[in-house]
Structure 1
Amino acid sequence: MTRNFWYDRIHRLCEEYVVSLPEEELKEYTIAELEQWAMRRIHARSTSPVKLHLRSRNDLPAREASYEIIPGGRWLLKICDNLPVYFVDLDSSDLEEHLLFDPRNIDPRISHGEPFGDRLWIDHQSPRLSFRIELCLVDQGASFECHIPRDLRSLRGLYIYQVNLIGHGASAILEAQIIATFRRNTSTLWHAFNDHYFVSNSTAPTLGIFDYRQAMECFDYPLIGCYTRAHTLEYHPTEFEFINEDVLAVYYITPSFYRI
C-alpha cells in the first residue's frame, strides 16, 4: 500500500523482464493505478494466447491490414490497405477501433495509392508516451514495376505523424498530427527514420541522408531530390535501422554482415 513498493516492483519488471516503462511518469499514477499497471504486465507474461475480436464502427467491407503493438503492450495500431490507421486500447473492455489518422484528409491526390510498410520511432526521452509513425504510399498495384514512367513513380508519398498520449489512465487516448509530407523520386522501398533524419538507398549502392525537418509543416510534396548527404556503400544494403539516436545499423545479406 505504498508508492515505494510499486516503484520498486515496476523498476524490477522493466530491468529483469525487459518490460517497457509506463506511458506516464510514475508520479502521475495513484497507488491503485500503479498496482493495476504492474499486475497487468505480470499476468500478461503467464497468460495463454487469446483471440481478439476488434469492434469497428466502419461499415466498409473488411480489407487487408497490418498491425503494430506499441512497446508497453497497451496500444495496438491497425494500418489498413485503404489508408486509414486505427488504434485499439487493449486495456479497454470493448476493444473498439478508433481512427488515428487518414492521409486522404490531408491530400486528396493520394486516394488511389496503397500503403507499403510503416515504421515507428519511439521518443524514449519523453516523460509520456510519444512516438512518430511513418507511412509510405506507393502507386496502387505497381509496387515493384520498374516500367512505370518516372513522373508517376515520383508521386509516391511518405507521411510522418507525431503521436502523443492525451489524457490520463483509463481515459487516455492517442492523438496524431502530421508533421512532414514529401514525395520520393526513387523506386527503392528500403528506408529508415528517426526524429531528425530519413535515410534511403537507391538503385546504386548509395545511402541518401535527408534532414526531414526541412519538410516540417510543408504539405505540398517537397521532392527528396537533394539529400543532405549521400554516402557511397560497398554493397547494396538489405535493411537498415536507427538503433540509438543517430546511430544507424546497416545489414548486408551478400556478404552477410552488419555495419554501424
Structure 2
Amino acid sequence: MTRNFWYDRIHRLCEEYVVSLPEEELKEYTIAELEQWAMRRIHARSTSPVKLHLRSRNDLPAREASYEIIPGGRWLLKICDNLPVYFVDLDSSDLEEHLLFDPRNIDPLRISHGEPFGDRLWIGHQSPRLSFRIERCLVDQEGSLPFTLVYIYQVNLIGHGASAILEAQIIATFRRNTSTLWHAFNDHYFVSNSTAPTLGIFDYRQAMECFDYPLIGCYTRAHTLEYHPTEFEFINEDVLAVYYITPSFYRI
C-alpha cells in the first residue's frame, strides 16, 4: 500500500468515525507506522464490547487527583489537588508516572499561602503535532483582599513514536484581585467569574513571558442572567459555553 492510500484511510477514519488525528504530522510516520495506526483503530471498532465488572468500595481515600485522557488515547494526565501534574504513557509496558510540571517550584512561599482551585485544559487542534495548554488556579485569602493566581503551561510532544514524551513550559502567570468561582481559558483568553455579578475577560497574551504576577487588564461585563453558572467551557475556538445546573441548561 502506498503512503497516499494510508493518508486517505486515516482522514476517512477521522471524518466518519470522529477518530482523533495522529499526534504527529503524517509525513513523520513510515508507511508501516501509518498502517499500524489505521489498522489498530479499524480492529478496535470491530471487537466485541468490553464487559465491565464494577464493584463498590468504602475504604477508598478522599479524592487527591483528577484524571484526563488526551484525545488520541495515549496520554493520561494525573492532576493533583496540591498542584503538580503527572503524565502516563498508556502505550508503555510499565505505566510509570512522570512529572509534567509543578507550580510550587515557581514561587513556593506565595503558593504555600494559597488554596488550589480548579484546572482547565485547552487542546490546540490546529497544531500539526500534539499540543495543548493547562491552566491551574490558586486562591490566596491571607490578606484583606482575596486574589487569584493563574499559571498557564504549554505542553508539547517531544520525540517520535514509542520514545516520545510530553514536555511542559510555563508561558504566563498573572493575578486577579478577586477570588474566582468559575473559569475557562483558550489559547489567548481567560474568563472568570466570582460571587459579584460580573464576568472578567482577560487577554492573557499580555502576560506571556512575564512571571512576576502582573495584574492584567480585562473587559468586565455585568451578569444579566437570573441563574448562577456552574461551569464555563470554550468550544469551537472562541465560543464560550456556560452551563447551569439548576435548572440544567447551556447558554452560548
- Bin for the TM-score computed over the shorter chain: 0.7 to 0.9
- Decide which moves more: 127-136 or 113-122: 113-122
**Secondary structure of 1:14 counterpart:** helix
Q: 1:58 to 1:37 in 2, by over 3 A?
A: farther
- Decide which moves more: 218-227 or 47-56: 47-56
Q: Which residue of 1 aligns with 2:186?
A: 194
Q: 1:117 to 1:40 in 2, by over 3 A?
A: farther
Residue 192 of structure 1: CA displacement?
0.7
Summarize deviations over 1:101-148 as a string: whole Å, max 9, x none.
1111111221454533211111111111111111122459999xxxxx
Summarize deviations over 1:22-71 as a string: whole Å, max 9, x none.
11111110011112222333455567899999999999999822111111
Q: 1:249 to 1:112 in 2, by over 3 A?
A: same
- Alpha carbons 1:100, 1:174 under 8 Å: kept: yes
Summarize deviations over 1:86-113 as a string: whole Å, max 9, x none.
1111111221111111111111221454
**Secondary structure of 2:218 counterpart:** coil
**Secondary structure of 1:213 counterpart:** helix
- Alpha carbons 1:81, 1:114 under 8 Å: kept: no
Q: Distance in 2 between matches of 1:100 and 1:131?
A: 13
Q: Which residue of 2 aligns with 1:20?
A: 20
**Secondary structure of 2:219 counterpart:** coil
Does residue 74 of structure 2 align to residue 69 of structure 1?
no
Summarize deviations over 1:128-184 as a string: whole Å, max 9, x none.
1111111122459999xxxxxxxxxxx542110011111111111111110111223
Where do 5+ consecutive residues of structure 2 fail to align? none
Q: Distance in 1 between matches of 2:52 and 2:25?
A: 29
Q: 1:186 to 1:127 in 2, by over 3 A?
A: same
TM-score (norm 2): 0.82
- Decide which moves more: 66-75 or 53-62: 53-62
**Secondary structure of 2:47 counterpart:** coil
Q: 1:77 to 1:114 in 2, by over 3 A?
A: farther
- Decide which moves more: 22-31 or 229-238: 229-238
Where do 5+ consecutive residues of structure 1 fail to align? 144-154
Count of equivalent residues: 249
What RMSD, in angstroms, separates the aligned Cα atoms of the two structures? Answer: 5.0
